[in-house]
A and B are shown apart, each in its own frame.
Chain A
Amino acid sequence: MSTQVEPGALPGRKASRKGGDNKGVNKEVGADRKEKTQGRAATLLIAPTLIVLAIVILYPVINAVIMSFQHDQGLDAATGLFVTGGFAGVSNYVHWLFQQCPTSGGTGSCPPGTLGAQFWSATGVTFFFTVVTVFFETLFGFWMALIMARTFKGRSVLRAAVLVPWAIPTAVTAKLWFFIFAFDGIVNTLFHSSILWTGSEGPARAAIIIADVWKTTPFMALLILAGLQMIPAEVYEAAKVDGASAWQRFRLITLPLVKPALMVAILFRVLDALRMYDLPAIMTGGANGTTTLSILVVDQIRVGFNSAAALSTITFVIIFIVAFIFVRFLGANAVESASGGAKGKQK
């Protein structure tokens, strides 16, 4: 790290000394120098943010990884003695991934109902929620975006209405839908049904999915709408002149041109859904087959930090892998669109 000013960093002085004897070289050196000074300014401006992020994210994550290789404090099932941690190797990971719990004679599969037995079901539930909610949100979101993109009287009312579910805190949304799906609630009254919505697996999951779709479809719709508005109107006019039907225009123009924005929107929603916590935690508390990975981590924290750390690390890795697949193979290049979108835009 060289913090002192290099002699070449003062372009004005050096340029005047050199005169104009070699313009080409001078220009190149100037540009290089400009990048260097800008780089230094950028470092100064960005460093605080990176340091803050390192403290609030990187440090806890590294800490979590270290913790995940320690034994939990507690009674040792084999000896009946109180133990205070110590290096555990990968046993916490084995505990979750292979659902192995300590027994008096070593380890065996975790008894049903314990947290240790729930890893794979929680993973399944998390992916189930993610796939189903993102599917419906994309479908409805696209439809809403297509309607919002049209010009008609009262369009601003529609745009305002769409922001309301987004603005309501998720905790309130959860309580609101819990009330709507109550046994004597409005849904059962309207449909003359008597379903215990949060009392059994299928209905509980359906209730959570409906609440999530209600809350987050508007966000999806707005992202897709922004993508739609970047498509120049002339393209549609040209297609109309050429006699393309509405369906053809949608399939051959709208869909491919909106794809970059759509993929970024789906990526955002998928990563959000994979960490879903508030809705199921408040609506069902994770009962009846609605325990997501995040709920499992929080439940585990109260029992043992270190195995909770292992579980949260696994969750993080799962989300990272999904994000990687999206960016690498499905073309959801959020970074590229953030850094100017040179490739994404000018197709």
Chain B
Amino acid sequence: MSTATTTLNTGTAKAKSVARTRENWASTRTYISAAIIVIWCLLPFYWMIVTAFRDVGYTFDSTPFFTHVTWDNFKTAFSAELGNHLGRALLNSLFISSVTTIVALLFGVFAAYALARLNFRGKFLVLGLILGASMFPGVAIVTPLFQLFGNIGWIGTYQAMIIPNISFVLPLTVYTLTSFFREMPWELEEAARIDGCTQGQAFRKIIMPLAAPAVFTTAILAFIASWNEYLIASILSNDATQTVTVAIARFAGSQPHQEPYTAVMAAGTVVTIPLVVLVLVFQRKIVAGLTAGAVK
């Protein structure tokens, strides 16, 4: 500012300097905004971790640092005597989400290939159906499933949660993969055919390696969607088959009638950290996957 007023006399130089000051101010504003967003997004998450490590007697301490650090909350979270089957729930979620993801990919890859690559009548309709299915409210199927699974003795079984999960995850898989596949250089496949590959060889040697990253990204998205499911699991599971989201919602503490905040935060940390690490490692791909279906 001072340089602009004292040393510079010519109009153009002044304008240049003003422009530079304005630019500096704009970039400062960008940094301030970015900092606000980062703090807003991370602060509750940070608070969860701080509380997870805090002695239960200091649950409501408002110091934002790691004080009264202890591992006890994690012990409580996994404690079988209190009925917190977190270890079991983690395995259940891992199993249910893995099976759901694999099944959804198995079916989804073929459908997505056809939707992205082939021309056929009714494509529009199929896409519409699948998109509609992905926006389908879970409550609309939970009542008949509850009755049906009750009748055939499936309540509290893994398949009772995997099958409805597929209905949420499969449309998402098809939708995401279709937009990924559309961007792939399919001419390479034709080139390979001309060079003497059979259709199967061309697919295996050329297309599959190219499609692998897209399939992998979709697998992460499908896995996270299934891992986060709560409605169906809360109704159709029992103590032995409950998933992590249900386990956390029903946590019991060492003191009766008191919300075991620190133990819940410890459980939340355990359940969330692997997901957050996964997401941060594959950040770019996940953003691409999240937005691929919607806007491209």
Contacts and interface: CB of A to CB of B under 8 A. Distances in A.
B13 interface: no
A125 interface: no
A218 B166 CA distance: 25
Interface stretch (B65-73, B138-146, B207-215): B138-146
Interface string A144-181: 10010010101111111111111111111011111110
Contact of B295 (A38, A63, A226): A226
Place the interface of chain B in its size category.
35 or more
B126 interface: yes
A265 B294 CA distance: 7
B141 A57 contact: yes
Interface stretch (A3-11, A235-243, A290-298): A290-298
Interface stretch (B1-9, B168-176, B190-198): B168-176
A60 B167 CA distance: 11
B268 interface: yes
A133 to B, nearest CB: 16
Interface in B271-290: 271-272, 275-276, 278-280, 283, 286-287, 290
Interface in B135-178: 135-148, 163-164, 166-167, 170-171, 174-175, 178
Which residue, A155, A218, A277, has most C-beta atoms of chain B within 10 A? A277
Contacts of A174: 249
A338 B171 CA distance: 12
A298 B246 CA distance: 15
A297 B128 contact: no
A112 B166 CA distance: 39
B261 A339 contact: no
Nearest to A52: B107
A280 to B, nearest CB: 12
Contacts of A50: 111, 126, 129
Nearest to A174: B249
A214 B48 CA distance: 14
A208 interface: no
Interface in A216-246: 218-219, 222-223, 225-227, 230
B131 A338 contact: yes
Interface string A30-71: 000011001101110110111011011100110110010000
A58 B130 CA distance: 12
A169 B224 CA distance: 8
B276 A168 contact: yes
B115 interface: yes
A305 B62 contact: no
A98 interface: no
Nearest to A268: B294
Interface in A73-104: none
A219 B293 CA distance: 13
B131 A335 contact: yes
Main secondary structure of the interface of B (DSSP, over half): helix
A195 B129 CA distance: 46
A56 B163 contact: yes
Interface residues of A, number: 102
A298 B137 CA distance: 13
A337 B142 contact: no
Given A163-B286, A179-B261, A219-B290, A172 B248 contact: yes
Given A57-B133, A60-B141, A337-B296, A170 B33 contact: no
B246 to A, nearest CB: 7
Interface in A176-203: 176-180, 182, 184-186, 189-190
Given A172-B248, A179-B261, A160 B283 contact: yes
B95 interface: no
A320 B32 CA distance: 41
A147 B147 contact: no
Interface centre among B280, B286, B296, by most chain A C-beta atoms within 10 angstroms, is B296
A316 interface: yes
Nearest to A336: B124
Contact of A46 (B31, B126, B248, B249): B126
Given A67-B147, A264-B295, A316-B139, 14 more contacts: A42-B118, A56-B167, A147-B34, A160-B283, A167-B224, A168-B275, A169-B248, A172-B48, A179-B51, A222-B287, A261-B295, A264-B294, A309-B144, A316-B140
20 contacts: A38-B120, A46-B126, A53-B129, A67-B143, A157-B38, A158-B34, A171-B228, A171-B246, A171-B249, A172-B268, A182-B261, A184-B60, A186-B60, A223-B295, A264-B294, A274-B137, A298-B234, A301-B235, A337-B294, A338-B179
Interface of B: 27, 30-31, 33-34, 37-38, 40-42, 44-45, 47-48, 51, 59-60, 62, 107-108, 110-111, 113-115, 118-121, 123-124, 126-133, 135-148, 163-164, 166-167, 170-171, 174-175, 178-179, 182, 224, 227-228, 230-231, 234-235, 244-246, 248-249, 251, 259, 261, 264-265, 268, 271-272, 275-276, 278-280, 283, 286-287, 290-291, 293-296
Nearest 3 pairs between A and B by C-beta? A226-B291, A171-B245, A56-B167
